[in-house]
Copies of this chain bind each other. A is one copy, B any other.
Amino acid sequence: MTPDALKDRFRPIFSPTSVAVVGVSRDLSKSGSRYFTALVKAGYMGKLYPVNPREETFAGFKCYPAVSAIPGPVEYVIISVPIQQIVGVIDDCVRAKVRAIQMFTAGFKETGGAEGKAIERQIVDKARSVGCRIIGPNCIGIVNPSAKIPYGPVSFRAEPGGFGFISQSGGHGSGIVSAATSRGIGLSKGVSFGNASDLVDADFLEYLAVDDDTRIIGAYLEGTANGRRLFETIRNAARAKPVIVWKGGTTGVGAEAANSHTGSLAAPYAIWSAAIRQAGAVSVLSLEEFMDTALAFQHLDKPVDRLAVISGIVDGGGGDSVSATDACIAAGLEMPAFSGATRAGLNSILKPVGTILRNPLDLGNPGPDPTLLARAIKTVAAEPGIDLIIIQKHVDMLLDQSDDAEPVRKMHQGFIELRKSLPKPLFVVSPPGTREAERVALDGELARGGVPVYPSLERAVRALVNVRAYYRMREKRGG
């Protein structure tokens, strides 16, 4: 299929002009009601129809007895009804010639029973007969911040951006959207596809590979029905864009859990991880590493090897410098010595006692003065042997010194400006501590200002190693 044909095919799925929700009810805590109200709250701009034969209105909208009773075309239908009603609802959608159906309803193939499997096949056949595609069942469905479509009933407000994801798990999809929202990772499109009765992993990946909004692709997978096609798709996608794969069910017992979760059969992890890497993608082991790596890709379009680490804004950074070196060197990254010119430059900026003019640089407690920090950072950035700068800071220590958030905010503003003006990328490490409410608010401003923030140096370094591995693989393949 040509890229343009693919884009056309997925347009009604990720950017539908009209959405109906089947299964709204007076009980606002029910999933159908929550899907609908979340769309309203998010400000979805298309036509929106609640469907329930026993209600006249829902949330101020006229309620329809069936999808086929809605005047005008309906592109996308979200279904959250008991499984006993599902065949009737699908027949109704077929009559209404909807383009795509997203099914929250569960109890199909994943139960392991013959009946659930048979119904799943039946509804797919019905939908396909009129060219309608199914997302799920047993899934949360799509998210598209630029179309103001939230992730299912969840109201987290991720910003539009370049990270597109697919997730076999609805819950991990929530984790992905939550982390994207809090860490300043912009989302292009995302989907939890559950049992993958019709549209499967590779279908969505093919689309994200050609989607103009998607610069980085992430996939949480538990198993697949067609490994050959999946890995061929990952290989093609990874030629164009970074692809991060988090494989769940990596152990025998975990694979059993995956089977009862989304009814998928899982091959041994060793086979998966080798295949992921051979396909030119990055293999990660947890949600943290998945999001950390996506954030690093958001800021890096080439590999980095040689780091400068700056610590000691308050109360000395000797221990931080030692630990930073341990983490970088253990991960196979370099921390080159500074040249004489850089050391001389730093010497003219920083006071001598407590300062250690090497890489890692211990600033020796100058405080959060943005002017001094900018001079020191620029001096380090001018060092030709450095690819990337990491600043370690402790918000609770900073607040403890002055009990005022304003100096920290000004320092962050300085980092945001530097990130834009510096010729090299700037990462920040900010561990949790005793003043989390204030730290999260301050670091949130920093992240939204475009500076990547990590909770530990180890996690930042792990992400950098993944980014490097991807670009090196692509270089080898001549990508």
Per the bound structure, the CA–CA distance linking A353 and B80 in Å amounts to: 13
**Given the contacts A170-B315, A261-B356, A322 and B436 also touching, CB distance less than 8 Å:** no
A479 interface residue per 8 A CB criterion: no
A53 interface residue per 8 A CB criterion: no
Per the bound structure, the CA–CA distance linking A420 and B46 in Å amounts to: 53
Which of A71-79, A173-181, A382-390, A468-476 lies on the face that meets chain B?
A173-181
**Given the contacts A167-B319, A329-B252, A400-B155, A437 and B434 also touching, CB distance less than 8 Å:** no
* A17 smallest CB distance to B (angstroms): 27
A3 interface residue per 8 A CB criterion: no
Per the bound structure, the CA–CA distance linking A178 and B399 in Å amounts to: 12
Report the copy number of this chain in the oligomer: 2
Q: CB-CB contacts of A262-274 with B at 8 A, as 1s and 0s?
A: 1000000000000
Q: CB-CB contacts of A50-85 with B at 8 A, as 1s and 0s?
A: 000000000000000000000000000000000100
A366 interface residue per 8 A CB criterion: no
- Tell me the nearest residue of chain B to A266, going by C-beta: B322
* A302 smallest CB distance to B (angstroms): 24
* A431 smallest CB distance to B (angstroms): 7
A441 interface residue per 8 A CB criterion: yes
Per the bound structure, the CA–CA distance linking A220 and B319 in Å amounts to: 9
* A75 smallest CB distance to B (angstroms): 26
A286 interface residue per 8 A CB criterion: yes
Which of A86-94, A125-133, A230-238, A243-251 lies on the face that meets chain B?
A243-251
Q: Which residues does chain B contribute within 8 Å of A401, judged by CB atoms?
A: 29, 34
Per the bound structure, the CA–CA distance linking A397 and B312 in Å amounts to: 36
A178 touches B394 (CB 8 A): yes
B437 touches A257 (CB 8 A): no
Per the bound structure, the CA–CA distance linking A457 and B402 in Å amounts to: 35
B335 touches A253 (CB 8 A): yes
**Given the contacts A172-B319, A329-B251, A436 and B434 also touching, CB distance less than 8 Å:** no
* A104 smallest CB distance to B (angstroms): 10
Q: CB-CB contacts of A140-158 with B at 8 A, as 1s and 0s?
A: 1000000000000111100
A317 interface residue per 8 A CB criterion: yes
A458 interface residue per 8 A CB criterion: yes
Size of the chain A interface, CB-CB below 8 angstroms: 82
Per the bound structure, the CA–CA distance linking A107 and B318 in Å amounts to: 13
B222 touches A353 (CB 8 A): no
Q: Which residues does chain B contribute within 8 Å of A29, judged by CB atoms?
A: 401-402
B400 touches A154 (CB 8 A): yes
Q: Which residues does chain B contribute within 8 Å of A458, judged by CB atoms?
A: 286, 288
**Given the contacts A29-B401, A107-B353, A182-B434, A318 and B262 also touching, CB distance less than 8 Å:** yes
A170 touches B394 (CB 8 A): no
Q: CB-CB contacts of A163-197 with B at 8 A, as 1s and 0s?
A: 00001111111110011011000000000000000
A326 interface residue per 8 A CB criterion: yes
**Given the contacts A250-B330, A362-B261, A156 and B396 also touching, CB distance less than 8 Å:** yes
Q: Which residues does chain B contribute within 8 Å of A322, judged by CB atoms?
A: 169, 222, 248-249, 254, 257-258, 261
B174 touches A257 (CB 8 A): no
Per the bound structure, the CA–CA distance linking A262 and B317 in Å amounts to: 12
Q: Which residues does chain B contribute within 8 Å of A397, judged by CB atoms?
A: 154, 174, 178
> Which residues of chain A from 344 to 377 have any CB-CB distance to chain B below 8 Å in the complex?
353-354, 356, 358, 360, 362
Interface residues of A (CB under 8 A from B): 29, 34, 83, 106-107, 140, 153-156, 167-175, 178-179, 181-182, 220, 222, 248-254, 256-258, 260-262, 285-288, 311-312, 315-323, 325-327, 329-330, 335, 353-354, 356, 358, 360, 362, 394, 396-397, 400-402, 431-434, 436-437, 440-441, 455-456, 458
A–B Cβ pairs within 8 angstroms, 20 of them: A34-B401, A83-B353, A107-B353, A153-B315, A156-B434, A170-B319, A171-B312, A171-B315, A171-B319, A172-B323, A173-B319, A174-B397, A175-B394, A175-B433, A178-B396, A181-B434, A262-B318, A286-B323, A286-B458, A437-B440
